[in-house]
């Protein structure tokens, strides 16, 4: 039974969309191989993006939270935590923005949403439902064949993983939209109310492939 569970863990994939409501991906160890590849809905280009996820970790080093790479840009849309500078760093088209002052405590769930609109060039971070200031990034559109990965940071299109950038912990409620969410929709997501699910990535109808040791478990919640 244990061997069967391990085999499923190493090779699991959802060939058809799977409802992951109430579930989480658990990344239980530091590795440069374990990852989840997410299959987005067909897209020609992205001129605006919102990515939201919820994560739980005790890492005290840099780590990637979301990695979207194309053939042209390895950090076409990437979110990472920089432990040295204590900041969340969204990357858009290989250009970095920096957000400081987030209360990124270990061993608790955090909600991280990032928006970007090519028309205005503005990037904004929403951390645990609190908006940051908007910052400017000059970038036209995300084009090509995106590869979206949880658990690792891509330094090449679909590869180039670094052990010291991997994510260890739990991740849930990953959604991606091809537009910027309104503040009200953002708050609904944070509070897990009746929000509009992502139209590029939808946690309630997700196609994905698990590589190496990543578990699908019931989402860790505290009892009251």
Query: Considering the entire predicted model, what is its pTM?
Result: 0.92
Residue 13 has pLDDT above 50, yes or no: yes
Q: Looking at the 3D structure of the chain, how many domains does it have?
A: 1
More confident residue, 222 or 83: 83
* 3-state SS track over 102-149: CCCCCCCCEEEEEEEECCCCEEEEEECCEECCCEECCCCCEECCCEEE
Question: Above 50 in pLDDT, residue 181?
Answer: yes
Residue 13 lies in a domain: no
> Could you tell me if residue 72 is inside a domain?
yes
CA distance 90 to 125: 8
Note the pLDDT of residue 102: 93
Domain contains 134: yes
Structural domain contains residue 6: no
**Domain contains 7:** no
φ, ψ (nearest 5 deg) of residue 82: -100, 110
Note the pLDDT tens digit of each residue in 77-118: 999 999 999 999 999 999 999 999 999 999 999 999 999 999
In a domain, 4, yes or no: no
22 domain-assigned = no
Parent domain of 181: 34-218
With respect to residue 207, please indicate whether it lies within any of the assigned structural domains: yes
Task: Average the pLDDT over each of 22-31, 53-62, 134-143, 198-207 and give the range with the smallest value.
Answer: 134-143
216 Cβ neighbours under 8 A, 6+ residues apart: 12, 20, 23, 24, 25, 26, 210
Reported as a pLDDT band with limits 50, 70 and 90, residue 44 is: confident
Q: Give me the CATH number covering residue 81.
A: 2.60.120.200
What is the model's pLDDT at position 5?
A: 47
* 110 touches 54 (CB < 8 A): yes
Residue 8's pLDDT is what? 47
Give the C-alpha separation, 207 to 205, whole Å: 7
Is residue 121 a contact partner of residue 138, using CB atoms and an 8 Å limit? yes
149 is written with which tokens? Answer: 């990965």
Say which DSSP state 163 is in.
G
């Amino acid at each position: 039974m244990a061997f069967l569970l391990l085999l499923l863990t190493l090779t699991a994939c959802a060939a058809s969309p799977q409802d992951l409501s109430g579930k989480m991906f658990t990344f239980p160890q530091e590795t440069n191989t374990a990852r989840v590849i997410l299959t987005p809905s067909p897209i020609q280009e992205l001129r605006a993006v919102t990515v939201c996820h919820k994560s739980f970790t005790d890492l005290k080093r840099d780590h990637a939270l979301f990695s979207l790479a194309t053939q042209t840009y390895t950090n076409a849309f990437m979110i990472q935590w920089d432990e040295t500078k204590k900041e969340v760093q969204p990357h858009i088209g290989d250009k970095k923005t920096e957000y400081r002052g987030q209360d990124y405590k270990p061993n608790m769930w955090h909600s991280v949403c990032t928006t970007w609109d090519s028309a205005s060039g503005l990037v904004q971070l929403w951390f645990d439902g609190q908006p940051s200031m908007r910052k400017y990034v000059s970038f036209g559109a995300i084009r090509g064949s995106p590869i979206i990965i949880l658990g690792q940071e891509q330094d090449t299109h679909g590869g180039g993983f670094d052990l010291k950038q991997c994510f260890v912990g739990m991740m849930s409620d990953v959604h991606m939209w091809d537009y910027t969410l309104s503040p009200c929709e953002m708050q609904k997501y944070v509070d897990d109310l009746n929000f509009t699910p992502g139209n590029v990535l939808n946690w309630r109808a997700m196609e994905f492939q698990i590589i190496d040791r990543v578990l699908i478990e019931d989402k860790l919640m505290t009892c009251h």
